[in-house]
Chains A and B, each alone.
Chain A
Amino acid sequence: MIADHLPVLVVVLPLVGAVATLLAGWADRRLCFPIAMATTVIQFCISLVLLSQVMQTGPLHYNLGNWLPPWGIEYVIDQLNGFVLAVILFLCVLSCLYANRSILSEIDEKKIPAFYTVLLLLVTGVCGIAVTGDLFNLYVFLEISSLAAYALVAIGREKRALISSFTYLVMGSVSACFILLGIGHLYIVTGTLNMADLARVLPPLYGSTVVQTAFIFFIIGLSIKTALFPLHLWLPDAYRYSPSAVTVLLSTIVSKIGVYALIRILFSVFTPSFIIIDIPVMEVFCWLAAAAIIGGSVIAIAQTDLKRMLAYSSVSQMGYILLGIGIADSIAVTGGILHILNHAVMKGCLFMIAGAFIYTSGIRSIEDLRGIARTMPLTAAAFVIAAASMIGIPPTVGFMSKWFIALGALESGQWIFVLVILASSLLTAVYFWKVIEYMYFREPVPACGEAITSARDPPAGMLAPILVLAAACVLFGIFVSIPLEIIVPFVTGILGGT
């Protein structure tokens, strides 16, 4: 009985959890964390059940209120969003565990119930985007998750977080407005909002300027959301000034769901023939992604602040995902989708470590990290593993997705992007090696000597997620066939396979 309703439960549960957290917070602030934690863990279990059902029986369809599509809202779970849902909720569970300790030093105690409530609202929005098969529903969930994200950025004590949150709000709202306009255009032409229905009705209309305009609106809107290179300006400040746990959530969950929405609209609402032949947008995407990969890496090298460096590195890594999709070769798209998991794991780990450094020693600057590996050996080791994965050293996850994207670029004869990937790997090595060298091979600077010597590995609640993610960096690299088994059927389904 309840098993039939799992697709909707994954969205309803955090919504109920958010209210429960708020009410429990009035009684006792210590109740908030267990409720939030339990909610995300149950959700993660649900997402695994859903994923295994999808793998066994094919896509699941759930009609809200038993209204048949295209009139009612339909939730559809196929391999792609089953995979994205599981990845996101895995990171949610770990971020929530991490937040329990890290948030204590970064926000006022009376804001803790608010923090967990907004966190669960963010999870609601993100899961909603993942499961919905209705365009307008996607817009509403996008706004729920964005509003929660703006609030989370501003929740810390940092004064500048307010300004970066405001910038994020203005940029995010404009992007949502563009998406809303795109939905409006499509609705005017087709009279339907259901994604599967749109995919059926649209192909004869591909010559229509209204459809093409709608498509451009979607692309611009979602590019701002995913911080594609020239539109990334909100990202570094938002990542830098928000509390560590929030940065982890933003970099792993919010940015990934934007990419998911982009893939969904590119491949499930529109068809590959439209995006490759009718409007050559994929070529533009490739070049923008290449600019993001190189530009992000170059700017990251110049950074002195660890979190800011990781933020620019995120801009570069999102470029990889978009490059994989943009090449539109089935191997490259597989690599791009695989990179959603990989980047979430690696960057989640790195931002957690940056947060751990701030938590135990208060150090934010890369230069001041000299010698910290001696007092925080486990954290530093995890950093090395995740950094190796970012650079793309086998057998880590980062290597696998870069390999697939490069292979796809070669297959489709776009060798210039192979050069981009190689160059960027070297640049990535430059900025991560700098941090590793300071951590392991330098004597502490006198001004920070005491902070370094008194630093210890963070408490178990923070260390456990870091180590789990560092282990995942290696394990998913070795057992890469597990995620591939889920992604490949989806890619074959949309691109016809090779």
Chain B
Amino acid sequence: MIETLVPGLFLRYNYYMAIIIMLIGLYAMIAKGNLMKKIIGLNIFQTAIFLFYISSSDIIGGTAPILTTDPATVYVNPLPHVLILTAIVVAVSTTAVGLALAIRIYEAYGTIEEDELIALEAKE
């Protein structure tokens, strides 16, 4: 049992790591009451997906995808990297909007703790 599991784990450890990091991010978004920590959780979640894409395209010993005369050259698929560049831009903009909202919530309510916000809302 352990022999079949362990090599599988080591062969695909990058995917397992991506999933673990993703769940850490998801946990932070659900369990943490502080809006800033929620944004951090969201970032961790997104980063895990980036890791998933990037590691899926990598080949051990692969080089940059530059056209050479040697037909035996093993190169890494560049497309996932390009996709993730775009996704990073999206993630940065999402974070920016999230932070801007957190600042305005702080200006309006004087707190960014979720339970305090709920209490303030219930009072009004």
Interface positions of A (Cβ within 8 A of B): 136, 139-140, 143, 147, 150-151, 154, 159-160, 162-163, 165-166, 169-170, 173-174, 176-177, 180-181, 184, 187-188
Contacts and interface: CB of A to CB of B under 8 A. Distances in A.
6 contacts: A165-B101, A166-B98, A166-B105, A173-B42, A184-B49, A184-B52
Contact of B49 (A143, A163, A165, A180): A180
A180 B29 CA distance: 18
Interface in B67-90: 79-80, 83, 86-87, 90
A162 B38 contact: no
Given A180-B49, A184-B56, A151 B97 contact: yes
A163 B38 CA distance: 13
Given A162-B104, A163-B105, A188 B45 contact: no
Contacts of A173: 42, 46, 94, 98
A143 B52 CA distance: 20
Contacts of B42: 170, 173-174
Contact of A150 (B46, B80, B87, B101): B101
A136 B86 contact: yes
B104 A143 contact: no
A181 B108 CA distance: 36
Contact of A140 (B35, B79, B90, B97): B90
Nearest to A150: B97
Contact of A181 (B52, B105, B117): B52
Contacts of B83: 136, 187
Contacts of A147: 93-94, 97
Interface secondary structure of B, over-half rule: helix
A163 B90 CA distance: 21
A166 B35 contact: yes
Interface of B: 26, 29, 35, 38, 42, 45-46, 49, 52-53, 56, 79-80, 83, 86-87, 90, 93-94, 97-98, 101-102, 104-105, 108-109, 117, 121
A151 B97 CA distance: 7
B56 A169 contact: no
**SS class, residues of chain A in contact with chain B:** helix
Q: Which 7 A-B pairs have the closest CB atoms?
A: A143-B90, A159-B108, A162-B105, A166-B101, A188-B56, A184-B53, A162-B104
Given A159-B109, A163-B105, A169 B98 contact: yes
A187 B101 CA distance: 34
Contact of B121 (A139, A160, A177): A160
A174 B105 CA distance: 21
Contacts of A166: 35, 98, 101-102, 105
A438 to B, nearest CB: 25
B101 A162 contact: yes
B32 to A, nearest CB: 11
Q: In this complex, which of A165, A184, A187 has the most chain B Cβ atoms within 10 angstroms of its Cβ?
A: A184
A259 B70 CA distance: 49
Contacts of A165: 101
Most chain-A Cβ atoms within 10 A of its Cβ — which of B35, B79, B101? B101
Contacts of B49: 177, 180-181, 184
Contacts of B26: 174
Contacts of A188: 56
A170 B105 contact: no
Nearest to B25: A177
A176 B94 CA distance: 11
B115 to A, nearest CB: 13
Given A160-B121, A181-B52, A187-B80, A170 B104 contact: no
A162 B117 CA distance: 11
Contacts of B102: 166
A211 to B, nearest CB: 15
Nearest to B96: A147
B24 to A, nearest CB: 14
Contact of A174 (B45, B80, B87, B93): B45
Contacts of B97: 147, 150-151, 169
Nearest to A188: B56
A143 B97 CA distance: 12
